[in-house]
Amino acid sequence: MSPGPEVRDVTRDAASAGAPPSSPDVTEGSTDPLQRRRSDAARAERRLGWALCAPAVIVMLAVTAYPIGYAVYLSLRRSDLRFPDAARFIGLDNYVTVLTSAYWWDALAVTALITIASVAIELVLGMTLALVMHRTIWGRGTVRTAILVPYGLVTVVAAFSWEYAWTPDIGYLAALLPAGSAPLTETWQAIGLIILAEVWKTTPFMALLLLAGLALVPEELLQAAKIDGASAWKRFTKVTLPLMMPAVLVALLFRTLDAFRVFDSIYIMTGGSQGTGSVSILGYNNLFTALNLGVGSAISVLVFICAAIIAFSFIKLFGTAAPGSALDGGN
Amino acid sequence: MAISSRQKAGWSALNVLVILWALFPVWWIVALSFKAPADIGTDGGSPWPTDWTLQNYAAIFTTTDFIRALVNSIGIAAIATAIAVVLATMAAYAITRLRFPGKRALIGLSLLIAMFPQISLVSPLFDIERGIGIFDTWIGLIVPYTTFSLPLAIYILSAFFREIPWELEKAAKMDGATPFQAFRRVIAPLAAPAIVTTAILVFIFCWNDFLFAISLTSTPRARTAPAAIAFFTGSSQFEQPIGSIAAAAVVITIPIVIFVLFFQRRIISGLTSGAVKG
Amino acid sequence: MAELVLDGVTKRYPDGALAVYRMNLEVGDGEFVILVGPSGCGKTTTLNMIAGLEDITDGELRIDGEVVNDKAPKDRDIAMVFQNYALYPHLTVRDNLAFPLTLAKASPDVIREKVEGAARVLELTEHLERKPSQLSGGQRQRVAMGRAIVRDPKAFLMDEPLSNLDAKLRMQMRTQLSRIQKRLDATTVYVTHDQTEAMTLGDRVVVMRAGHVQQIGTPRELYDSPTNFFVAGFIGSPAMNFLPATIETDRLRTPIGDVRLTDAQRSALESRDVGREVVAGLRPEAFEDAALVDASRAPGGTFTATVDILESTGPDVHAYLELEDARGGQALLEAQGAEHDGNAADFRSRNQVVVRLDPETQAREGHPLKVWFDPRKLYIFDPRSTENLVA
């Protein structure tokens, strides 16, 4: 039998039993004008979709893709704001300057350290916080409101709070330290305090994402595991964690890339002195202190490449569970 | 389930610990802002002011620079939020309700931008904005703020829009509504909370920015509050402006705290929607 | 109230999928017509086309003689009750009920009167100031009904309005719905996938499958003379038994024994060009425990088979019998394929028969049972066209 016209939601051959045997093949004959009308409707929908998205896409591309392209162009030129007339094409010289400079590698190392340490601590702390909020028998709302405050706080304000807390004679935390210590002037201690400030500021966001992930784990599943004799730790590692993995990965991706951009806290707390500068600080200083647009742009491009590598490796890790696949729910 | 008083005490202790951890650093800067400048540095870092004073607040509001910065912050964040929310609403509607090729590419693009290191744009934007004359103006900041809040706004709005019972549109049509009436009387009231939530989160995002604010401005003309605070200088060369900075920090924190207190449930659902379904 | 006519109505989706094919249906003034069929059969699409929520690809839809194909839903003066009730969550019950009236720019007095009248009929008066989220499922369902009633529309459309209620409430609402429909004398088109609902509510029932109308008739007609295999299997619970059979001049050879064809059956078969292989159909109700039948007064066939499973429903006992011999499986296999994709009948192995017995029966699981059946209730289907050959 020739395959009859496909009917919605019915996978089997539509014409097999229901249609009278003499039923004409409906795909032939009178369909031409219909087909045209149909594709008109689809085309109209497509056009409307594009029209609605166009403004957002144009803005996003104009303000990111174009400048990044321009940054690549600038990075291939000698472009020193102090000597505007000396601008010319110099190939990869700016990249050589950056990549052979100890400043770049130090800044990259500091950035990597801050990123890895703060995200790792945040994950553990955020998970603990999420479990506390998930399991607590009272006051969940109060705790949630309280931890939203650090999230909403302006990073600069948070950084000032921490800076003054650790400043000798001024801060309550510095008062706890042995006399004469000034932690923000020592490289390693300062980096540690920057990490602490970042962790304090962003753990709530992590905790809220993880809390939402926890809410997706069905209670019956945990009860079933309990009946099967799983200990609390086993229930967490074998049931809860695997089920909330998508939420964990999304939270990690966002936080890692966010931590990699760290700028505000360092700028306020140490200004990047004593070797505490991140790549963002380095790029900023090159532009506004050294006034070298070419080298600054080379740093911009390199930072962009680093971020792309991080994002790419995460997306490799995600596979199909990439964030945003959920947003494709329109069909 | 019976809850033993010991369990309750344990949880209480844990909750108090979390709340202290979250709020104490905020309290610290508030306390600092109420200390007399002379006490700062001599009271051994007490988290409780010995003499409460409004001196620091008086100081920041007598200079025009901070007021100017506040106006800039509010104006720039509000305009950027309005533009971002309008554009994102259109895009999110298309993403959740229409079929068209390129949807995935759009989602990918916005995710990419959400993760974009802002420093990569600072050098080129600095040069471009000086070239076209919008450096150190409101527009110069509104443009990057809108761009970087669009992914966030699209993401949150799409997640909310998927929850709207769109079949009500059909029901309204059956009840005799024109398409516009169906939108205005049924869909708009249902979408409004999502849009308000998104606007709050985008506003917080713009309000928070520091890097663009110090890179793309050079005078108080368009400098926003966080940038202005970082450039505070004492009234005399020898006096640290710590008290003024603390007071200004408290002032720019107040709107955020108000938003958080009033809209916490919505903010949380906005922050976490979509992310968990990924 | 009004008369509704579907004349060759066809729906084809943009992706080429055919949802409804050349449907003809006349719904008389005040008539209660049910569209029934498995999911994906096109019943909801048909309803949406009548409502104006979906375009009609081809054919004509007439309300009181006027072609309304191109009219917007609001100009058709039809009310609809949705499966999920489609209550406006931001409006109170009162405002939900008033919504269609305010759109029609009725005066506040009229609105109050009509809303309160409808609320009284539906026992919603004390809930008028509540929001839908504060109501139970049954109350929400009644608000949805009320919103349809207040407008005095030409016709009501209902899309599985009872399917979200629990079993007991569904029964209650079914009778209430029936009463309201009769009282308002409202032309109603009602969609359901539940054949019991279809049989109990409708003046007439339209059985649909894969976009095609299978049969239109009163519940009795559908039960007594189904036009084809699909309708036979879809209507009735437990579903009709289908057995492979062979025509041998004046008798039919089946796994439950040879059956003598009546003259009417023979002449019906002769007038058609059918092969010898056919499918015999017998409803579970056509069987009885032979020990409980007075054979002299009720002539019929008997056979013996092993009882696999017994299910007691209270007034009846359903027995699942294993037949040893299932010959001529091919014809049945084809026909069963057709039956199963309609998921109307339960999946039954081809040598199993379900019979409905009197609760007095002494049948026991795992033991043989002598069963009587009434050959006059036998249906004969063409395995290729699936048509009922002797209707």
For residue C21, give both structure tokens: 């094919």
Question: How high is the mean pLDDT of chain C?
Answer: 86
Same domain, A68 and A114: no
User: pLDDT at residue B205 above 50?
Assistant: yes
Are B276 and A246 inside 8 Å of each other by CB?
A: yes
pLDDT at C1: 65
Name beta bridge partners: C381.
C279, C388
Give yes or no: residues A134 and A267 share one domain. yes
* pLDDT above 90 as % of chain A: 23
Most confident by average pLDDT, A23-27, B15-19, B39-43: B15-19
Q: How far apart are CA A278 and CA A263, in angstroms?
A: 7
More confident residue, A164 or B5: A164
Judge whether residue C109 has pLDDT over 50: yes
Which chains sit next to B, with 3 or more Cβ pairs under 8 A? A, C
At residue C260, the pLDDT reads 85
Average the pLDDT over C65-92 and give the result: 89
Residues A176, A318: one domain?
Answer: yes
Which one has a higher pLDDT value, C299 or A209? Answer: A209
DSSP string over A179-191: TT--GGGSHHHHH
What is the CATH number for A301?
1.10.3720.10
Predicted pLDDT at B76: 96
Q: What percent of chain B has pLDDT over 90?
A: 27
Over 80: is that where the pLDDT of A151 sits?
yes
Reported as a pLDDT band with limits 50, 70 and 90, residue A326 is very low
Segment A272-282 mean pLDDT: 87
Q: Give the mean model confidence (pLDDT) for residues C45-73.
A: 91
Separation CA C248–CA C259 (nearest Å)? 10
pLDDT at residue number C9: 94
Q: For residue A87, is it within any domain?
A: no
What is the homologous superfamily of the domain C4-229 according to CATH? P-loop containing nucleotide triphosphate hydrolases (3.40.50.300)
* A249, A321 contact by CB (below 8 A): yes
Regarding whether A194 and A109 lie in a shared domain, the answer is yes
Highest mean pLDDT, choosing among B182-186, C341-345, C350-354 = B182-186
- Report the pLDDT value the prediction gives residue A7, as an integer from 0 to 100: 37
Answer whether residue A91 is part of any domain: no
| A113 and A242, same domain (yes or no) | yes
pLDDT-derived band at B114, boundaries 50, 70, 90: confident
- pLDDT category of residue B213 using cuts at 50, 70 and 90: very high
CB contact under 8 A, C99 and B189: no
Identify the sign of the CA torsion B169, B172, B176, B177: negative
Q: Do domains C4-229 and C240-381 have the same CATH topology?
A: no
The percent of chain A in helix, strand and coil, each rounded to the nearest 5, is 70, 0, 25
Residues A134 and A59 reside in one and the same domain: no
B87 touches chain C (CB under 8 A): no
Q: How many CB atoms lie within 10 A of CB B74?
A: 16
Residues C280-312 have pLDDT tens digits of 899 999 999 988 887 777 778 888 899 999 999
Tell if the CB–CB gap between C72 and B190 is shorter than 8 Å. Answer: no
pLDDT of A11: 34
Q: Does C338 touch chain A (CB under 8 A)?
A: yes
Q: What is the pLDDT of residue A167?
A: 84
* A contact residues 148-177, partner B, Cβ 8 Å cutoff: 148-158, 160-162, 164-165, 169-175
pLDDT (average), residues A214-230: 85
Say yes or no to pLDDT of B157 above 50: yes
Between chain A and chain B, the number of residue pairs with CB atoms below 8 A apart is 338
Give contacts of B 70-109 with A, CB under 8 A: 87-88, 90-91, 93-104, 106-109
Determine the distance in angstroms separating the CA of A29 from the nearest CA of chain C, rounded to an integer: 13
The rounded distance, in Å, linking the Cα atoms of C211 and A26 is 12
Helix axes B188-208, B64-97, angle to 10 degrees: 140
Is the pLDDT assigned to residue C182 strictly greater than 70?
A: yes
Note the pLDDT tens digit of each residue in A91-102.
788 899 889 988
Q: Which of A34-43, A76-85, C101-110 has the lowest mean pLDDT?
A: A34-43
pLDDT in tens, C7-28: 999 999 877 889 999 999 999 9
A282 shares a domain with A196: yes
Residue A54 and residue A191 share a domain: no
Closest Cβ–Cβ partner in A7, A12, A15 for C17: A7
Task: List, in sequence order, every residue forming a beta bridge with C61; answer none if it has no partner.
Answer: C6
Nearest to B175 among C53, C89, C99 (CB): C99
**CB burial readout C320-344, b (16+ within 10 A) else e:** bbbbeebebeebbebbbebbebbeb
User: Cβ C53–B172 below 8 Å, yes or no?
Assistant: no
pLDDT at B180 over 60: yes
pLDDT score at B81: 96
Instruction: With cut-offs at 50, 70 and 90, classify the pLDDT of residue C113.
Output: very high
Both tokens assigned to B18: 């979390």
- Among residues of chain C, what percentage have pLDDT more than 90? 41
> How large is the average pLDDT for residues B45-62?
83
Q: What is the rounded distance in angstroms from the CA atom of residue A120 to the CA atom of residue A255? A: 10
Pairing of strands C188-192, C155-159: parallel
Q: Could you give all domains of chain B from N- to C-terminal order, each with its CATH number?
A: 9-53 (no CATH), 64-272 (1.10.3720.10)
Instruction: Provide mean pLDDT across the span A129-147.
Output: 82
Percent of chain A topping pLDDT 70? 83
Could you state, in order of their start, the residue ranges of all structural domains in chain C? 4-229, 240-381
Residues spanned by the domain of A52: 34-75
Cross-chain CB nearest to C341 (options A5, A6, A12): A12
Mean pLDDT of all residues in chain B?
A: 85
Average pLDDT score over residue span A161-180: 81
State the Cα–Cα distance between residues A297 and A299, nearest whole angstrom: 5
Per-residue pLDDT, B232: 82
pLDDT tens digits, A18-56: 333 333 333 333 444 445 555 667 788 888 889 999 999
pLDDT class for C251, splitting at 50, 70, 90? Answer: confident
The Cα C195–Cα A285 span in angstroms is 77
Window A:20-49, CB contacts with C under 8 Å? 20-21, 23, 26-27, 30-31, 34, 38-39, 41-42
**A159 & A46 share domain:** no
User: Does residue C217 carry a pLDDT above 90?
Assistant: yes
Question: Is A134 contained in some domain?
Answer: yes
Q: What contacts C66, CB < 8 A, 6 or more positions away? A: none
* Assigned CATH topology for domain C240-381: OB fold (Dihydrolipoamide Acetyltransferase, E2P) (2.40.50)
Tally of domains within chain A: 2
Q: C70 to chain A: which residues are within 8 Å by CB?
A: none
More confident residue, B81 or B113: B81
The answer to whether A102 faces chain C, any CB pair under 8 Å, is no
Other CB atoms within a 10 A radius of the CB of residue C268 amount to: 17
Does any domain span residue A25? no
CA gap A32, A22 in Å, rounded: 22
Determine the residue of chain B that is closest to C151 in CA distance.
B175
Does pLDDT of C44 surpass 60? yes
In this complex, do C21 and A19 lie within 8 Å of one another by their Cβ atoms? yes
A62/A114 same-domain check: no
Cβ–Cβ < 8 Å for C307, C193: no
Looking at chain A, which subunits does it touch, using at least 3 CB pairs closer than 8 Å as the criterion? B, C
Residue B240 or C166, more confident: C166
Considering only CB atoms, which chain A residues are within 8 Å of B122? 283-284, 287, 296, 300
